[in-house]
Structure 1
Amino acid sequence: MKRIPAIFTHILFLAGFLSFPLLLMPPLTAHKQFNDAGQLFRSVILTNFLAASAYYLNYYYLIPSFNTKRKYKAYTVSLLLIAAVILLVPVLCNFIMSRLHIPFPFVNSLRAPLPSLLMTAMALMLSFILHKNNEWKQAQRDKMEMEMQKNAAEVSLLRNQVNPHFFFNMLNGIYSMAIRQSTETPAAVLQLSQLMRYVLYESEGERVPLEKEIEYMSGYVKMQHMRLSGNNTVNFEVRNTSSGLTIAPLLMIPFIENCFKYGTSGNHDTKMNISLDCNGKRLLFSSNNTIIPGKIDPDHKGIGINNVKRRLELIYPDRYSLSIRENEHEFAVHLEMEL
């Protein structure tokens, strides 16, 4: 099916190439120098047909075989041979016609070579320009495809970095619960298994349903909340979620991780607020948490935030706005993105 449009394109090109000079010709009766007014008509048709043949020969064989491979001398010799053949064909046709006593002479192209050479040069130039244009377009497509593959590989690497980081934090949380002999430890282990199932199996695609991602975030918050003491207040709110939307998986979880990692304490009163809101296809995520003095290492805040920034640049270019604000008492994140 893909070849049909190309065939029609070639037919239209040949029809136009053969007929266009005829449309510009003055009336045949004006050419008194020709014994037969049809001689000029036949000559123009033959010249155009030969020029069109030169176009396709140059486009499909000479340029790929010689020019593209930098065999410039061979390419130049081939073009000169084409020009010579085109000049000789009408002469050869006249010779054959005279031998067969067929009264259909052509204009002697050796005596008037300029029209034939001009048409041939135009055909060769056109085929060269179009071929180079197609080469450039193909190179751009290849470059874009390579860039897409590179970005996909980088996104996969960034996402894989989230997984071990996530499990490390979760296992630390369960370990601390087990040390305290918390009665919620079995529930936390069950919750972790559900979260692992999502991370390992359900989030492998480029996009996941937004509802699944929210369910995962809610489970993560619930599990982390199990290990906290009563002096840590956690608010998690989801509003106006729309069905049918998809999102890159595990995109906002590093922000939530940081809330629990750096914004909770066994001795100080803390508060964190995490909210998610949808307005059509526009997703608004925000989080803020209390900063515990001395808990954040200024030289190493983990790979999470830089990871999210890079994934946003690759997956949602020009479709997101990320604001991170930090002061002495609070760390806040505001993310808007078009899904």
Structure 2
Amino acid sequence: MNDFQFSNFKFVPLHILFWVGVWFFFVYFFSYNSTNSSYVFYFSSFLLPITMGTTYFFAYFLIPKYVFRSNYKLFIIYGIFAIVFSTYGILLTIFGNFIFLTNLKVTNVPPMSRNYIFVLILVYLVVGLVSFIRVLKKNSETIAKNVRLENKLLEGNLRLKDQELQYLKKQIHPHFLFNTLNTIYGFAIARSEHTPELILKLSNLLDYILYQVQKPLVPLQEELAHIEEYISLEQIRFKDTLQVTFKKELKSKNLQIPPMLFIPFIENAFKHGTILLGTLEIAIQIQASEETIFFEVTNTASKLNSNTNPIGLGLQNIEKRLQLLYKNNFTLVSEQTKNSYSIKLTIHL
């Protein structure tokens, strides 16, 4: 009986209390319309071990070994054997008590103990009750176990998701930083007076990269402020050859987004945009509400060069990151025309 551990002593008092209650129930039942208390006492006492043996055999052996494993054929076969043996034990109890306690007088036998069918029903009423509780308990344990397994799987998936997000961040941020440092290097070589200003702006962006991006979410307005910081840094580099428009329409001031969500798209526009007629034009637009965030960046580009707007490492990783963060609740569309290239991102919150 693998499922019934007698070494688990904390349940022993409960079992003893239960069987004491069953014995009193037998005494009460067989005392109906009878004054032979001595017969009722011994009859109930001899019937109790048969009931206990049958109950434990069904509830802690047959059901766990065959019903829980869906082997119903063997359960029925062994169940029939158990009923036969318990019937034999009940008959021995009835006739034994009749022979030794009544002087072979039927009138001395309590009415409720004369009928074998009543006694059998009473015994298997207890067997059925305990077996039902056993099955109910097993089902509860199985459900609880499945919930624990599901929670572990969910925790594992969340952990993997978080690790992948951190991996993507570690790729995106150095990529962005590398491009900015190249810009400062070029100004330093040229001994430009704007180099200190560039370094100061870079330090602000570094503060954002090193500290703020560790958070899962940041206020949207804070993200937009650092986008403006990055644009001002690029304006120093491009001087008069750059024209940037940045339109913002925020219907909610409490929105939060993952940090550095839009900067890689903007960086790509500066890096791969084409100066046409002496000017690199970049138009950035963001519209945000409680339900949707729409982001678009468009830059001048020449369609003659197929490599004008390649999907770089930063954009590949940001698309993977979007998939992890929003699954299928976003659309990312790029469009190439004769003189422009645009990316449109819509996020459904």
User: TM-score surpassing 0.5?
Assistant: yes
> Aligned residue for 1:158?
168
Q: Secondary structure of the residue that 2:254 maps to in structure 1?
A: coil
Task: Return the letter of the residue paired with 2:130.
Answer: T
1-structure distance, mates of 2:235, 2:222? 20
The correspondence for 2:344, drawn from 331, 334, 339, is 334
2-structure distance, mates of 1:249, 1:118? 61
1:124 aligns with 2:134: yes
Alignment of 1:53-68 (within 5 A): none
Q: Contact 1:276–1:286 (CA<8 Å) still a contact in 2?
A: yes
> Aligned residue for 1:177?
187
1:135 aligns with 2:159: no
5+ residue gaps in structure 1? 1-30, 71-75
The correspondence for 1:261, drawn from 230, 250, 271, is 271
CA shift, 1:119, in A, is: 2.9
> Aligned residue for 2:32?
36
Alignment of 1:293-308 (within 5 A): 297=307, 301-308=311-318
Corresponding residue pairs, total: 278
Give deviations 1:45-74, integer Å, cap 9, x for gaps. xx89x979x98x89xxx99xxxx9x9xxxx
CA shift, 1:131, in A, is: 2.0
Alignment of 1:1-339 (within 5 A): 35-36=31-32, 112=120, 113-240=123-250, 242-265=252-275, 268-292=278-302, 297=307, 301-339=311-349
2-structure distance, mates of 1:257, 1:331? 13
**CA RMSD of superposed structures (Å):** 4.5
**Whose helix fraction is larger, Structure 1's or Structure 2's?**
2
2-structure distance, mates of 1:156, 1:203? 10
Which one has a bigger Cα radius of gyration?
Answer: 2
Cα pair distance change 1:266/1:117, threshold 3 Å: same
2-structure distance, mates of 1:315, 1:141? 20
CA shift, 1:248, in A, is: 0.3
Q: Contact 1:322–1:333 (CA<8 Å) still a contact in 2?
A: yes
TM-score (norm 1): 0.66
Task: Return the letter of the residue paired with 1:286.
Answer: E
Task: Return the letter of the residue paired with 1:231.
Answer: T
1-structure distance, mates of 2:248, 2:298? 15
Q: Contact 1:176–1:227 (CA<8 Å) still a contact in 2?
A: no
CA shift, 1:109, in A, is: 11
Instruction: Name which of structure 1's ranges 191-200 and 268-277 shifts more when overlaid on structure 2.
Output: 268-277
Instruction: Name which of structure 1's ranges 323-332 and 167-176 shifts more when overlaid on structure 2.
Output: 323-332
2-structure distance, mates of 1:109, 1:248? 73
Q: Secondary structure of the residue that 2:156 maps to in structure 1?
A: helix
Q: Contact 2:301–2:308 (CA<8 Å) still a contact in 1?
A: no
CA shift, 1:236, in A, is: 2.0
1-structure distance, mates of 2:213, 2:298? 26
Instruction: Name which of structure 1's ranges 300-309 and 187-196 shifts more when overlaid on structure 2.
Output: 300-309
CA shift, 1:259, in A, is: 0.5
Task: Return the letter of the residue paired with 1:279.
Answer: S
1-structure distance, mates of 2:267, 2:33? 89
Q: Contact 1:232–1:264 (CA<8 Å) still a contact in 2?
A: no
Q: Secondary structure of the residue that 1:176 maps to in structure 2?
A: helix
Q: Contact 2:250–2:289 (CA<8 Å) still a contact in 1?
A: yes
CA shift, 1:118, in A, is: 2.9
